[in-house]
Amino acid sequence: MAEIVLFHHAQGLTPGVVGFADQLRAAGHVAHTPDLFDGRTFNSIDEGVGYARQVGFDEITERGVRAAEGLPGGIVYGGFSLGVLPAQRLAQTRPGARGALLFSACLPVSEFSAAWPGGVPVQVHAMEGDPFFVEDIDAARALVAGAADAELLLYPGDQHLFADGSLPSHDPGASALLTQRVIEFLDSVDAQ
């Protein structure tokens, strides 16, 4: 059993994010889903980003860091889009990280440290035509090139939040493959 903290995207802690975590739980893993928006959800990415901008992206990241403080150190950090901010920071800087799962976003490694930490496997998942991920693809490729155990997994399509089953952008086929790969990743982390 691996343990993961999963940070939501800019539309908030939607039923789709909770449902994704439930699938990980059903596969035998422990999944935490902190709410970085104090119960708020938004009908569009733009509305959610507007809220995050108002609160401050640094504060959203800090909320994620604070949410992880009460959890054990030896866990996997995952995030959808905006949730990649705290997930990637924690995976790169919190001692004992077991892995990272970055969905639809990736920051340059230099945002948080000089290099990706050794012994921390990472997967970056995104749709190849996602207009938001276009800004992050170079950072994802650099991460994969510079880390010993890193993968960039691209899916056909152009949706940003394709793995959230509660949103119109949901792609059932791509989401099922992503979920299968994530469970395999968590199983491999658990086996170590």
How confident is the model at residue 73, as a pLDDT?
A: 82
pLDDT grade for 93, boundaries at 50, 70 and 90:
very high
Question: Which residues are CB-contacts of 191 (< 8 A; sequence separation ≥ 6)?
Answer: none
How confident is the model at residue 10, as a pLDDT?
A: 98
- Residues 136, 139, 145, 147, Cα dihedral to 10°: -110
Q: What is the pLDDT of residues 62-85, one digit of tens each?
A: 999 999 998 988 999 999 999 999
77 neighbors 87 (Cβ within 8 angstroms): yes
Q: What is the pLDDT of residues 97-113, one digit of tens each?
A: 999 999 999 999 999 99
Helical H segments across the chain, by residue range: 15-26, 45-55, 57-69, 84-93, 137-146, 172-191
Q: Is the dihedral of CA 125, 128, 131, 135 positive or negative?
A: positive
94 neighbors 69 (Cβ within 8 angstroms): no
Q: What is the pLDDT of residues 129-181, one digit of tens each?
A: 999 999 999 999 999 999 999 999 999 999 999 999 999 999 999 999 999 99
The CATH architecture of the domain made up of 3-191 is 3-Layer(aba) Sandwich (3.40)
> What is the chain's mean pLDDT, rounded?
96
pTM score: 0.97
Q: Give me 13's structure tokens.
A: 């802690």
Domain boundary assignment for the chain: 3-191
74 neighbors 98 (Cβ within 8 angstroms): yes
Q: Is the dihedral of CA 165, 104, 183, 99 positive or negative?
A: negative
